[in-house]
């Protein structure tokens, strides 16, 4: 399982997500909740390989779930270590979490 320094600041996460083509939905967060949603309903985000995806992110603890439309269960979560070699999953991890600094 990949290791990270911690969660990215919310403003940084939103800016990076928008730059990658994600639609950012902060409605729940704006109402006092802990979640934001990233949506790519048309598979236009390059790292998604043409597959539409939605990512629900708890911005306080960094936990996330990934859904694909029409599926009733998540296709991935923050604990999906079996997906550590999937480019789309790595891209989501790198978007949400700050990388560890290299040790000298």
pLDDT tens digits for range 18-56: 999 999 999 999 999 999 999 999 888 988 888 899 999
What is the pTM assigned to this prediction? 0.89
The answer to whether 92 touches 55, Cβ cutoff 8 Å, is yes
Domain range annotation of the chain? 4-96
Mean pLDDT of the chain: 91
Q: Which of 3-7, 15-19, 75-79 has the lowest mean pLDDT?
A: 3-7
Question: How deeply is 66 buried, as exposed, middle or buried, from its count of CB atoms within 10 A (0-12, 13-18, 19+)?
Answer: buried
Own/partner pairs for 29-32, CB < 8 Å, 24+ apart?
Answer: 29/59
């Amino acid at each position: 399982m990949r290791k990270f320094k911690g969660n990215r600041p919310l403003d940084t996460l939103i800016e990076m997500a928008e730059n990658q083509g994600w639609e950012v939905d902060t409605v729940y967060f704006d109402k006092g909740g802990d979640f934001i949603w990233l949506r790519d309903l048309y598979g236009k985000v390059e790292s998604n390989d043409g597959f539409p995806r939605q990512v629900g992110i708890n911005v306080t603890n960094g936990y996330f779930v990934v859904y694909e439309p029409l599926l009733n269960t998540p296709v991935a979560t923050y604990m999906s270590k079996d997906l550590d070699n999937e480019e789309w999953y790595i891209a989501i991890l790198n978007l949400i979490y700050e990388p560890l600094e290299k040790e000298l």
